[in-house]
């Protein structure tokens, strides 16, 4: 039932409810998109004894060798993602680590014979990245760690504001790249349209070494509706920018975070460059884990069936959050939120100046949310509006209780700010 939100009496009543909620001493964490134990249980078959340790080409997976990944693993993920096996390098368990390494290599060595990006930093004019926002906080953290400047770019329903992206990239040679989460984006749930993908691949850039960091983290993580995504590597090739994109993917939210598989894919010259740097860093990643995933899933179709089961776990949680928001705020203008087709998050907007206060109130009442502002470069949401909701980890009962407190906190913060 909607609460009145336009009087001092209403605020007093809400604060009374808030104090009562605090007596429950809840301890619920919704700050990250963690899979719930019930989701992890769906992958327990990975833990069984392996059939063999010998790969398709006769390599003993327990030993050294095959630095870029076993052939059958590359083929499995190529078929799943619409890539070519020769475009893929299998890594360890973290695509984030591969993103960091790729960006760090460009800072140290440049790419394709270009000037190392840190040269500009030492000259007092550091390179910059375009950062669609709200976006993934860990992308922004990588840029901060490496001294790369960040330019926020607003999002539309089809992806980043391409008029702004194209204009900035065309006129500034220090803009070296853009972060993209093209399907079910974190946290907005946006799916890039074919037009946006095509523009990213074809646009003129002042920097010859402009790069797209294509983090397709939720590429098969559909909850309500399957969405097709244009192949960025093919689009770049078609528009005569074959080196432009690096494609990242992992199984962190498919099997077990921390013990899954990650990959990077690109064209032949980029792959050769990455392998050259890798050869100085590592002899081979965990081939046993690669083989284990191949033996367990066997086909792309089996992976997609597994994703359907994961979606069945997530859908009731998203339904609960969305129904509560609609129940309490629908038609009031007090809050707006995304209605994603997949992924792991719901993005909510409070009235201006209320997000930080809402998050602080929720934490005091035992509900930990992502820090307000974390979804923007440098942690600065100038309007102080955006809050990322991560419904995946709590049980339905816990999520129900957490949302009641969260909604209460939004109302209190909004009235306090009037």
The predicted-structure confidence for 43-81, as pLDDT tens digits, reads as follows: 999 999 898 999 999 999 999 999 999 999 999 999 999
Which DSSP string corresponds to 67-109? TT--HHHHHHHHHHHT--GGGEEE-SS-HHHHHHHHHHHHHHH
CB atoms under 10 Å from CB of 103, counted, come to: 23
Give me the pLDDT at residue 6, please. 56
Give me the pLDDT at residue 7, please. 67
Give me the pLDDT at residue 4, please. 46
Enclosing H/E stretch for 116: none
Backbone angles phi, psi at 143, to 5 degrees: -60, -45
Characterize the bridge pairing of strands 367-369 and 28-30: parallel
Give the three-class secondary structure for 51: coil
pTM: 0.96
Q: Which residues pair with 159 in a beta bridge?
A: 156
* Cα torsion angle, 152, 156, 159, 162, sign: negative
- d(Cα 94, Cα 259) in Å, to the nearest integer? 9
Give the three-class secondary structure for 366: coil
CB atoms under 10 Å from CB of 192, counted, come to: 26
* Cα torsion angle, 57, 62, 68, 73, sign: positive
- 9-16, Cβ contacts within 8 angstroms, sequence gap of 24 or more: 10/415, 11/412, 11/415, 11/416, 14/408, 14/411, 14/412, 14/415, 15/412
Give me the pLDDT at residue 49, please. 80
Q: How wide is the angle at C-alpha 320 spanned by C-alphas 260 and 366, nearest 5°?
A: 75
Place of tokens 């083989």: 291
The pLDDT profile of the chain, 418 residues, written as one tens digit per residue, is 454 445 688 999 999 999 999 999 999 999 999 999 999 999 999 999 898 999 999 999 999 999 999 999 999 999 999 999 999 999 999 999 999 999 999 999 999 999 999 999 999 999 999 999 999 999 999 999 999 999 999 999 999 999 999 999 999 999 999 999 999 999 999 999 999 999 999 999 999 999 999 999 999 999 999 999 999 999 999 999 999 999 999 999 999 999 999 999 999 999 999 999 999 999 999 999 999 999 999 999 999 999 999 999 999 999 999 999 999 999 999 999 999 999 999 999 999 999 999 999 999 999 999 999 999 999 999 999 999 999 999 999 999 999 999 999 999 999 999 8
- d(Cα 204, Cα 294) in Å, to the nearest integer? 40
CB atoms under 10 Å from CB of 44, counted, come to: 10
The domains of the chain, with CATH numbers, are 8-30+304-416 (3.90.1150.10), 64-299 (3.40.640.10)
- d(Cα 106, Cα 100) in Å, to the nearest integer? 10
């Amino acid at each position: 039932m909607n609460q009145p939100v336009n009087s001092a009496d209403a605020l007093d009543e809400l604060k009374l409810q808030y104090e009562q909620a605090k007596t429950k001493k809840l301890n619920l964490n919704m700050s990250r998109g963690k899979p719930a134990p019930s989701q992890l249980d769906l992958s327990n078959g990975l833990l069984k004894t392996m059939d063999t340790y010998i790969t398709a080409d006769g390599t003993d997976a327990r030993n050294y060798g095959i630095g870029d990944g076993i052939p059958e693993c590359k083929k499995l993920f190529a078929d799943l993602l619409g890539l070519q096996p020769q475009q893929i390098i299998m890594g360890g368990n973290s695509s984030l680590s591969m993103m960091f390494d790729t960006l760090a290599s460009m800072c140290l060595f440049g790419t394709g014979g270009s000037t190392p990006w840190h040269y500009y930093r030492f000259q007092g004019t550091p390179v910059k990245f375009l950062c669609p926002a709200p976006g993934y906080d860990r992308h922004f953290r990588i840029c901060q760690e490496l001294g790369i400047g960040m330019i926020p770019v607003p999002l539309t329903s089809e992806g980043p504001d391409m008029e702004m992206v194209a204009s900035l990239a065309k006129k500034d040679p220090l803009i070296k790249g853009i972060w993209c989460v093209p399907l079910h984006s974190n946290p907005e749930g946006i799916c890039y349209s074919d037009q946006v993908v095509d523009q990213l691949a074809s646009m003129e850039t002042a920097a010859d070494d402009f790069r797209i960091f294509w983090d397709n983290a939720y590429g098969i993580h559909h909850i309500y509706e399957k969405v097709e995504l244009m192949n960025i590597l093919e689009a770049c090739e078609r528009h005569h920018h074959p080196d432009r994109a690096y494609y990242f993917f992992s199984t962190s939210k498919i099997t077990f975070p921390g013990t899954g598989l990650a990959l990077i894919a690109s064209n032949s010259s980029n792959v050769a460059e990455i392998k050259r740097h890798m050869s100085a860093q590592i002899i081979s990643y965990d081939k046993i884990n690669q083989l284990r995933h191949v033996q367990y899933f066997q086909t792309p179709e089996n992976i997609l069936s597994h994703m359907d089961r994961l979606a069945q776990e997530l859908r009731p949680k998203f339904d609960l959050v969305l129904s509560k928001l609609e129940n309490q705020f629908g038609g009031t203008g007090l809050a707006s939120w995304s209605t994603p087709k997949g992924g792991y998050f719901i993005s909510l907007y409070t009235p201006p100046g209320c997000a930080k206060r809402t998050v602080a109130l929720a934490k005091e009442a035992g509900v930990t949310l992502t820090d307000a502002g974390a979804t923007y470069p440098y942690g600065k949401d100038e309007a102080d509006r955006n809050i990322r909701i991560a419904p995946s980890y709590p049980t339905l009962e816990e999520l129900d209780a957490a949302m009641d407190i969260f909604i209460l906190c939004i109302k209190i913060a909004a009235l306090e700010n009037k």
